[in-house]
Amino acid sequence: MSRLAQLLARIAAARAGLPSPPVDPPRPTILFTGPAGPINASPYLLTVTLSDSSNVARVDFFKGTLQIGQALSAPYTCPAPLTYLDNGEVRFRAVVIDLDGQPREVSFRIDVAIGEPDTTSPVPVLHVSATNFTADGTLTLTCAASDNTGVTSLVLTRTSGGQAPLPLTIAPDGTFSETITRASNGTHVYTLTAFDAAGNPGSTSVTVTVAIPQPAGTLGLSAFPLSLTSPGTVALGAVPSLPSGVTIRYIDFYQGTETPENYIRREGAAPYEATSNLLSAANSGTVKFIAVATDSLGRQLRSEINVAVNITGETPPPAPNPALYVEPDYSSITWEPPLVITDAYLNSLGITPLASGPDAGRYHLDGGPGGRFIRNTVKGDCAIWVNTTRPLLLTRFTASGPAGSGTGRAAIGNGKYGAPLGNSVAVDVIIRDSSVITPGLELLDGQRAGGILFGYAKNVIVENCNLNGTSILAAQSCWGGGTFRAERNRFRNIDGRYRDRSSPNGFSLAGANTGWALVQAVQLDKVRGVPGISIKDNWITNEPGLSRVEDNINTYKSGGTADSPLMIDRNIIDGAYDTVPSNIHSGSAVVMGDEGGEHTTAQRNTAVRTSNTGISMSSMNHGKILDNRIGQTGFAPDGSRVDQNGQNIDVGIYARNYASNFVMDKATNLVGGNLAAWGAPLSGQPNRRLDFGFSSNATEGPTPNTSYAGVVTEALLDGWIADHLALWAAEGVVVGRRVS
């Protein structure tokens, strides 16, 4: 009750003669205090002191209008929170509520000057001497940090292989070092964390990878003999010494330098041996041999040895035939872009049909005395697109490019320019005194050399051309009076291998379809019932390690007529090897018919060193194999067997039926007058022979066949080739591109 109310009540009681009502005790004094300002810390303690608290229910505390606390009994205090946002004058209030609910308020003001809080994290800096280790060494970490208020501590940890972080001790100079060995292999994360006085952390990390392989071994290389005074080969042997757990994948041997052209062979199992190429007077001096071993970890070991060569008195090589064209070095050629030969192109040059001579009526496109060099680098395109239906004579051109994958797509072909794959032009073409050469090591990986390829053509004749690494193929062609002739062409190292820069010789060593395609020097595909077909006086040479031909000549489902059979006549065919000559090889010199041909004669050919078989007729009738020389030793030039298994070497001449639903008529097929010396050596049987195997599907005659009586030697085979060359010379036959 208020003082006024109490006074009025007492007056009223006196007038009425009643006792006076009780008087409330006097109100307590209130003292509301806090520490003197200015205030620079929080919290700020507020205190209310009462002279008498017996009638006090509670005390409420306020900062401005915001209640910040309450006290229900003594001591009446409240810690007031302050921040730098309160800086300046702050009014605190205390409201004392008595038991009757009557409030009394007191207040005071204070100055606040609290600094802003530090929320900035330190910036640590962690330098590492190396992030990758492949050999033993020392890892040094340099630790530092900066902060706006100062750094109080640095903590360095290492986390390895998913384990808990390991604390590391930082030296007084701010560094940490540890030794790295093979035992450290793995991935390690080093984390540096810096703290400031406010407890703010800042972290940075570096990752260090340790992959130290087992120590490399050594490779020894021996050679015998160490000196040569007469032509011969050198036997090489490599012996690796390796740490435990490491094996050899293979060892590659080279002569001179580690380049594809100097590659000798690869050995994948011990003993690691190889035989050099034949050394002659041209090699006189010091000849270096190199062995490069690749181990199971992909590392290489290298060793080399020198052999002294002092050979004199050899017969110099014959002078080149001045009538023959000499191919320039590929790298020195200035190439033109692809050429599309159309009617419009011939018109633009003012070319009209020849008026006389054996080529009368043909449009003669000539490369000129120096020749024209045309190259394509795009797989599936041609270097020279023959896209005219006019009778064309093409002379003195050189073409080069990768093999395509469509009809008429090659270095020279009749694929239709600008049209989808499968489209071709019905051409009538003679290609004479020209060259098609492989791009060789300039091919892209996965590419192989392109040659001459015509599909659905009317007439295809290739004469006196050089084909280096490439071939001729005519498919489903020669109609309307046309024919096919491949005569007096020089083939060298027909190559179906795909380019592979990861291989030591630059070409794939993998197997069929992956590492190489089936290619022939001359391939007919379903060219049948056509008179006048001639494959004659061609010289084909394939060297081991530089080529990969299947059948040198193959006439798949092709043939001539009864009056004019397909003639394979008087060719020299020397060599057919797998990419690795000691592998099993299914190639040959000649396969006639091949699933259904007819009216084909192979005669007067010299076929040597073709690994699997010589001349054969397969699933055909009216075939003849007459008066040929067929031979091989069964050994590669380095002395290894061309088929180490031995069981795959077939007979020199055979007649077999491989096609279902085809009947070979033995009476129509003749094999006669042939001289065979077909070596098929096995381990322990170096002179084993398999000369003939045709009796079930062909008849011997009209003259008997002969097996060579002596031991088959390389000298014998070279002599046969010399005889053949002498025959050509006597008849004035010039084989290859001529100088004109």
Q: What residue type is assigned to position 739 of the chain? A: V
pLDDT 10s digits, 16-59: 766 655 555 667 888 888 888 899 988 999 999 998 888 999 99
Q: Give the model's pLDDT for residue 245.
A: 85
Domain match, 247 and 286 both: yes
Assigned domain for 525 exists:
yes
Q: Give the model's pLDDT for residue 335.
A: 97
Q: How far apart are CA 414 and CA 458, in angstroms?
A: 11
* Number of domains composing the chain: 4
Domain match, 156 and 98 both: no
Q: Return the bridge partners of 376, or none.
A: none
pLDDT 10s digits, 570-590: 999 999 998 887 777 888 999
pLDDT 10s digits, 331-358: 999 999 999 999 999 999 999 999 999 9
Domain match, 167 and 75 both: no
pLDDT at 592 over 90: yes
More confident: 20 or 287: 287
**How far apart, in Å, are the Cα atoms of 410 and each of 7, 328, 375, 421, 449?**
130, 21, 11, 12, 8
Q: How far apart are CA 109 and CA 112, in angstroms?
A: 10
Domain match, 195 and 294 both: no
Q: What 3-state DSSP class applies to 28?
A: coil
CB 286 within 8 A of CB 307: yes
Domain match, 251 and 227 both: yes
pLDDT-above-70 percentage for the chain: 95
* Least confident segment among 178-192, 252-266, 491-505, 719-733: 252-266
CB 124 within 8 A of CB 202: yes
pLDDT at 646 over 60: no
* Closest to 74 measured CA to CA, from 108, 107, 49: 49
pLDDT at 715 over 80: yes
pLDDT at 3 over 60: no
pLDDT-above-90 percentage for the chain: 73
Assigned domain for 21 exists:
yes
Assigned domain for 494 exists:
no
Q: How far apart are CA 151 and CA 310, in angstroms?
A: 79
* Closest to 212 measured CA to CA, from 295, 289, 134: 134
> For the domain that residue 130 is a member of, what is the CATH number?
2.60.40.10
Assigned domain for 399 exists:
no
> For the domain that residue 225 is a member of, what is the CATH number?
2.60.40.730
Which sign does the torsion angle of CA 437, 442, 448, 452 carry? negative
Give every CB contact of residue 11 below 8 A, 6+ residues apart in sequence. Answer: none
Give every CB contact of residue 676 below 8 A, 6+ residues apart in sequence. Answer: 614, 630, 631, 652, 653, 691, 692, 705, 706, 707, 708
Q: Residue range 540-568: average pLDDT?
A: 95
Assigned domain for 354 exists:
no
Domain stop point among 309, 324, 359: 309
pLDDT 10s digits, 521-543: 999 999 999 999 999 999 999 99
Task: Tally Cβ neighbours within 10 Å of residue 115.
Answer: 9
In this prediction, residue 505 has a pLDDT band, given cuts at 50, 70 and 90, of confident
Assigned domain for 72 exists:
yes
pLDDT at 13 over 90: no
Q: What 3-state DSSP class applies to 262?
A: helix
Q: Residue range 276-288: average pLDDT?
A: 89
Q: How far apart are CA 40 and CA 173, in angstroms?
A: 38
Domain match, 99 and 135 both: no
Structure tokens at 403: 């093999």
Q: Give the model's pLDDT for residue 647.
A: 63
Q: Residue range 179-208: average pLDDT?
A: 94
pLDDT at 641 over 90: no
- DSSP code string of 574-626: E----SSTTS----EEEEEEEEEEEEEEEES-EEE--TTEEEEEEEEEEEEEE
Domain match, 79 and 128 both: no
Q: Residue range 691-695: average pLDDT?
A: 92
Q: Give the model's pLDDT for residue 78.
A: 95
Domain match, 594 and 697 both: yes
pLDDT 10s digits, 448-485: 999 999 999 999 999 999 999 999 999 999 988 999 99
Domain stop point among 112, 139, 162: 112
Q: Give the model's pLDDT for residue 25.
A: 60
pLDDT at 213 over 90: no
Domain match, 74 and 204 both: no
Q: For the sheet containing 285-295, what is the strand order?
A: 227-228, 300-309, 285-295, 248-255, 263-267
Domain match, 66 and 161 both: no
Domain stop point among 85, 112, 139: 112
Q: Give the model's pLDDT for residue 19.
A: 64
Assigned domain for 153 exists:
yes
pLDDT at 194 over 90: yes
Task: Tally Cβ neighbours within 10 Å of residue 376.
Answer: 25
Domain span holding position 37: 3-112
CB 396 within 8 A of CB 430: no
CB 486 within 8 A of CB 435: no
Q: Give the model's pLDDT for residue 598.
A: 95
CA 727 to chain centre: 48
Assigned domain for 426 exists:
no
Give every CB contact of residue 3 below 8 A, 6+ residues apart in sequence. Answer: none
Task: Tally Cβ neighbours within 10 Å of residue 547.
Answer: 24
**SS3 letters across 615-682:** EEEEEEEEEEEECCEEEECCECCCCCECCCCCCCCCCCEEEECCCCCCCCCHHHCEEECCEEEEECCE
Give every CB contact of residue 158 below 8 A, 6+ residues apart in sequence. Answer: 165, 166, 168, 188, 189, 190, 191
Residues in the chain: 740
Domain match, 106 and 152 both: no
Q: How far apart are CA 543 and CA 549, in angstroms?
A: 10
Structure tokens at 77: 């205090």
pTM (2 d.p.): 0.66
CB 604 within 8 A of CB 627: yes
Taking CB atoms within 8 Å and a gap of at least 24, the contacts of 60-69 are 60/94, 60/95, 60/97, 61/92, 61/93, 61/94, 62/92, 62/93, 62/94, 62/95, 63/90, 63/91, 63/92, 64/90, 64/91, 64/93
- Spell out a b/e string for 131-148, using b for 16 or more CB atoms within 10 Å of the CB, else e: eebeeeeebebbbebebe
Helix (H) or strand (E) holding 6: helix 3-15
pLDDT at 511 over 90: no
**SS3 letters across 351-383:** CCECCCCCCCCCEEEECCCCCEEEECCCCCCCC
Q: Return the bridge partners of 553, or none.
A: 522, 590
Domain match, 57 and 135 both: no
